Chains A and B, each alone.
Chain A
Amino acid sequence: GNSVTQMEGPVTLSEEAFLTINCTYTATGYPSLFWYVQYPGEGLQLLLKATKADDKGSNKGFEATYRKETTSFHLEKGSVQVSDSAVYFCALSASNNQGGKLIFGQGTELSVKP
């Protein structure tokens, strides 16, 4: 079946550090890939997405490239801020997922210190 694996947290960084959160997936066919962010006490917000191989999603300084050859969708940001502290979820949607189900990774908690 389809699955998503992302690096475990928590990840603690200093402000302005470089961020990478690894995400790899297993899926048949050509899934779409997503990063969602959940700030403390809030719901999930769509951060970025990519719908086909080699697509790069980007938003708010975050980027992720859909790599079919390595089945990966790693999240990166060049310089994190305290306000980026949140839980980040990698997810996929595939045509063989019943009812358009999203398959989530376990989430990675990011804490950015000033």
Chain B
Amino acid sequence: DTEVTQTPKHLVMGMTNKKSLKCEQHMGHRAMYWYKQKAKKPPELMFVYSYEKLSINESVPSRFSPECPNSSLLNLHLHALQPEDSALYLCASSQEGGGIETQYFGPGTRLLVL
């Protein structure tokens, strides 16, 4: 089973709201990733967690706050977003998060910031 699940599928929020995106995998992977994707562009890496520790933050604004409560779960907390943050947010997982690995992606959360 190579399934990564994400909730919600769609999210509309105002610029003053606080919301969270959730990602889950049960493949025993120890690395999880957040990506942001604009229409028909490649995904842009935001964060990497490896063994529940943040290993990469690609200079993402602090209005995005990741959290990895355990090795199967990854959250992205959103606060005071801007309209330009509207995008598809993808979660992925891989074996360990170092070297050469295959990443498996979830279906994404489509976020609209009004």
Contacts and interface: CB of A to CB of B under 8 A. Distances in A.
Interface string B67-106: 0000000000000000000001010101011111111111
Contacts, number: 71
B99 A100 contact: yes
Which size bracket describes the interface of B in this complex? 20 to 34
Which size bracket describes the interface of A in this complex? 20 to 34
Contacts of B42: 89, 104-107
A17 interface: no
Contacts of B92: 44
A109 B41 CA distance: 10
A46 interface: yes
A41 to B, nearest CB: 8
Interface of B: 2, 6, 31, 40-43, 45, 48, 50, 55-56, 88, 90, 92, 94, 96-108, 110
8 contacts: A43-B88, A43-B105, A89-B42, A100-B98, A100-B99, A101-B48, A106-B42, A107-B40
Given A43-B107, A94-B100, 8 more contacts: A32-B101, A43-B6, A46-B103, A93-B100, A95-B100, A99-B56, A101-B45, A107-B42
